[in-house]
Amino acid sequence: MVEAARERGSHSAVVLVDGCAFVVGVPERTVVTVLPVDRLRVFTHIDGAGIA
């Protein structure tokens, strides 16, 4: 998922996997934040998203 975001030029993405939202720094391949979907809120400075 992160590789696909990188290929599309994303720098920061939200990835939804198994009931959690992962905010990922794409160039560094680093998870920045993890939240359960029941605590989702507005994400800012995100230029990509994926659902796995």
pLDDT per residue of the chain (52 residues) written in tens, 0 to 9: 899 999 999 999 999 999 999 999 999 999 999 999 899 889 999 999 999 8
Token pair of 45 as six digits: 């400075």
Domain count, the chain: 1
pLDDT value of position 50? 93
pLDDT value of position 40? 87
Cα(41)–Cα(6) distance, rounded to whole angstroms? 24
pLDDT value of position 26? 97
Supply the pTM of this predicted model.
Answer: 0.86
pLDDT value of position 38? 92
Decide if 13 contacts 45 (C-beta within 8 A). Answer: no
Q: Determine the structural domain holding residue 35 and report its residue range.
A: 2-51
Contacts of 34 (CB under 8 A, 6+ apart): 20, 21, 22, 23
Token pair of 42 as six digits: 């507005």
If DSSP codes are grouped into helix, strand and coil, which group holds residue 44? coil
